[in-house]
Amino acid sequence: MHLAPNDLLQGRYRVQALIAQGGMGAVFRAVDERLGNTVALKQTLMSDPQLRAAFEREARLLAGLHHPALPVVSDHFTEGDGQFLVMQYIPGDDLASMLASRGGPFPLAEVLPWADRLLDALDYLHTQRPPIIHRDLKPQNLKLTPRGEIILLDFGLAKGELGSVGSTGGRSLFGYTPQYAPIEQIQGAGTDPRSDLYSFGATVYQLLTGEAPPDALSRAAALVAGQPDPLRPAHLVRPQIPAALGDLLQVTMAQSAAQRPASAADLRRALQQAAAAPSVPPTMIAAGVAGSAGQPTINMARPGAAPTVQTQGAPAQASGSMKWRIIGAAAALSVGVLVAAVFFLLQLLTGGAVSGQGSSATATPRPTIELISATAGAAPEADAGGSRSNPLPVGKTAQIASWAVLVTGVTRGDEAWNLLYETNSNNDPAPEGQEYLIVHVKARALVGSDAGRDLYPRLTSERLILYAPVAAVTPNQRPEEYAADSEHNIDFPYLVGVGEGKLILHVDDLANSDTKPIFVAIDQGAAITVDPALRAIKPTALGKDLREPAAIGETVTTEDYEVTVREMVRGDEAYQRLLEANSFNKPPKEGTEYLLAFVEVRSIGTKDETVMVSDSNFYSVVGDAADVEATELKYASLVEPEPTMPFYLYPGGQSAGWVAVAIPKDTPSALLVFGPSFSSNELNTRYFAIE
């Protein structure tokens, strides 16, 4: 149902203007002609009867909410093929726009009252029966009233999908924004109130520092690569922030939900203490144990709260792009993300272990899994499965400290796609040149879910690329809650190259950096080793000096990479391509324009490990400036055209994708820079001329 200015709905709501639009609906400013006030009219388009019923339930629930930090939902109705929410209209810019226009962070004295009010609102939502999880808290969804009071909205259209067509009793209709979402939400493993607390922490971090925190997938990728967490404490980014508050935000953005505060109320109390005691770092203690005098106490999160309904959100965009489809590269977000490229289509299904027809993780008899020793968590024999060059053979159990995993079968190609489509018709088909591969495993939990462990199997192939599970709904999803010594059938879906072979599964625990992965062959005889010929490749000087940048088509050789820029597009054409990739890509800031570059990257390292290549490895500088650092324009937060980054490369592996950066407009001396995040910048940084 297409709406235009002056359209009248229900005989009372006169449409005035479009506020935001997505693939499944839009938000409009309208006038209630019966009462004479301005309202926000949110339209969601859906035809599935179950989703319509879910909308009706959520609309009724939202209409019953009353809190000063939440917009009032005054009406809901269905007209044509659209479902509508009528909400309080809050004029003005959101905090993300205000942050951009002011060119720096907000004062601490302004942010703290906002944060306190938001936590009070989250506590109100989370203590409803059933609890309400917002799932998309971010600066774009925060506005100030004319009186300067913060309001939590969801006008920015969610980038996730509308939801699966299975049972809708425990899931929401809307999505999330990757940069502020916790890892469990991105993985589709389910959300609970602690997921909102992560998003709260990421939001407050940006308001206080002026910088968006690294997304959870990039952080997971660093962990997988054995690198330090790229999330810098807020008080190190901006020294004016009390150390106690910086430490508290780190805790709030813990990768494991079990390590975050247990509730918004607990976090609110800790925030008040941290703000009052800036010289004392926050102490995190187990629930029920008193904290030291003067130190903020954070109750440890208690696992188990089941995901429920979500707060009002703008209609989700139906993105055909696979951006964000592969955790695959932390996993390898294959063609869409580590939140963007190779990975996750921003349509990660929100319900966690929700599937259309199959049950999630069903318990099965135990005898099929042979533990390496009677002691749970015992390490395997020295060389058995310890590397890709010597994986466990097909049919053997891969055991780490928290899980024992046996591969029971593989489904790929058309058969895999048919299975996914039958399970949930919202699953997307594989992009050109790729196919689905589903690894079926029987997994025994050696510890319970309260231990905060996260089974995270990835694949390496003959293409020397690391793949992570994609966000597709399978018949047997990973369990959210499980007891020690329980067994489960689980399906892990991947996107791989058509016919790609030599597949090796990495059985790993993403939540435990001390766990070394165990490798098991999926294809008979599969083994991968580092090519000794790579040792003969030496770095060259091409592009190393910004005064002598490499040209398009020239391959630069660094200590660890070979990089070639194949194509560049700038200005209006670049922005048009970005809009075609995602209509919510924002225009460039005044005085700048976008540059799109198609880049090939090959890993030439010689260590038996994978490295991540991300769009965040690229930025621009003005080459003739005396102080290059002062002229850097860091990578823009944009959704690039397909194929995208990031991707994970094993030595010898090569892939390519589009990157987008901002450059000074009409500045001939601007250069594109490649500077890997997890490698020595001095040895790997290279400059490319912009044409």
Residue 424 and residue 354: Cα distance in Å, rounded? 10
Residue 253 has pLDDT above 90, yes or no: yes
Which DSSP category does 510 fall into?
Answer: T
Residue from 308, 306, 340 nearest 325 by CA: 340
Q: Tell me, what's the pLDDT at 546?
A: 86
Q: What is the three-class DSSP state of 313?
A: coil
Q: What percent of the chain has pLDDT over 70?
A: 75
Q: Are residues 20 and 76 located together in one domain of the fold?
A: yes
Residues 474-500, mean pLDDT to the nearest whole number: 90
Between 366 and 642, the more confident residue is: 642
Residue at which a domain ends, from 281, 310, 339: 310
Q: Are residues 264 and 129 located together in one domain of the fold?
A: yes
Where does the pLDDT of residue 666 fall: very low under 50, low under 70, confident under 90, or very high at 90 and above? confident
* Domain containing residue 124: CATH number: 1.10.510.10
- Note down the domain range covering 73: 8-88
pTM of the model: 0.51
Residue 279 falls inside a structural domain: yes
The pairs formed by 514-518 with CB atoms below 8 angstroms and a separation of 24 or more are: 515/400, 515/401, 515/402, 516/386, 516/400, 517/400, 518/380, 518/385, 518/386, 518/392, 518/398, 518/399, 518/400
Question: What are the beta bridge partners of residue 439?
Answer: 410, 492
The answer to whether 337 and 178 have CB atoms below 8 angstroms apart is yes
Furthest-apart CA atoms within the chain: distance in Å: 78
Residue 348 falls inside a structural domain: no
State pLDDT tens for residues 172-220.
Answer: 334 567 789 999 888 776 788 999 999 999 999 999 999 999 989 888 8
* Domain containing residue 440: CATH number: 2.60.40.1240
136 counts as catalytic = yes
Task: Tell how strand 592-603 and strand 654-664 pair up.
Answer: antiparallel
Q: Tell me, what's the pLDDT at 30?
A: 95
Residue from 526, 509, 533, 508 nearest 518 by CA: 508
Q: Are residues 545 and 678 located together in one domain of the fold?
A: yes
Q: Are residues 221 and 121 located together in one domain of the fold?
A: yes
Residue at which a domain ends, from 474, 493, 521: 521
Between the alpha carbon of residue 94 and those of residues 76, 97, 102, 151, 667, the distances in Å are 24, 5, 12, 10, 31
Q: Are residues 575 and 633 located together in one domain of the fold?
A: yes
Residue 280 and residue 689: Cα distance in Å, rounded? 48
Residue 55 falls inside a structural domain: yes
Q: Are residues 52 and 129 located together in one domain of the fold?
A: no
Q: Are residues 476 and 436 located together in one domain of the fold?
A: yes
Q: Are residues 150 and 269 located together in one domain of the fold?
A: yes
Instruction: List the single range of 69-83, 175-189, 426-440, 469-483 with lowest mean pLDDT.
Output: 175-189
Residue 122 falls inside a structural domain: yes
Residue 110 falls inside a structural domain: yes
Q: Are residues 259 and 192 located together in one domain of the fold?
A: yes
* Domain containing residue 49: CATH number: 3.30.200.20
State pLDDT tens for residues 567-618.
Answer: 999 999 999 998 888 776 788 888 899 999 999 999 999 998 888 888 878 8
**Which candidate in 94, 136, 247, 508 is catalytic?**
136
| Angle 586-588-594 from CA coordinates, rounded to 5° | 110
Q: Tell me, what's the pLDDT at 365?
A: 35
Residue 609 falls inside a structural domain: yes
Report the mean per-residue pLDDT for the chain: 77
Helix segments in 191-348, DSSP class H: 193-209, 216-224, 234-237, 243-252, 264-276
Q: Who contacts 425 (Cβ-Cβ below 8 Å, separation ≥6)?
A: 165, 356
Where does the pLDDT of residue 167 fall: very low under 50, low under 70, confident under 90, or very high at 90 and above? very low
Q: Are residues 77 and 131 located together in one domain of the fold?
A: no
Q: Tell me, what's the pLDDT at 611?
A: 86
Residue 384 falls inside a structural domain: no
Residues 17-35, mean pLDDT to the nearest whole number: 81
Q: Are residues 106 and 170 located together in one domain of the fold?
A: yes
The answer to whether 58 and 311 have CB atoms below 8 angstroms apart is no
Q: Are residues 502 and 634 located together in one domain of the fold?
A: no
Residue 56 falls inside a structural domain: yes
Our count of domains for the chain comes to 4
Residue 70 has pLDDT above 60, yes or no: yes
Residue at which a domain ends, from 59, 88, 117: 88
Q: Tell me, what's the pLDDT at 162?
A: 32
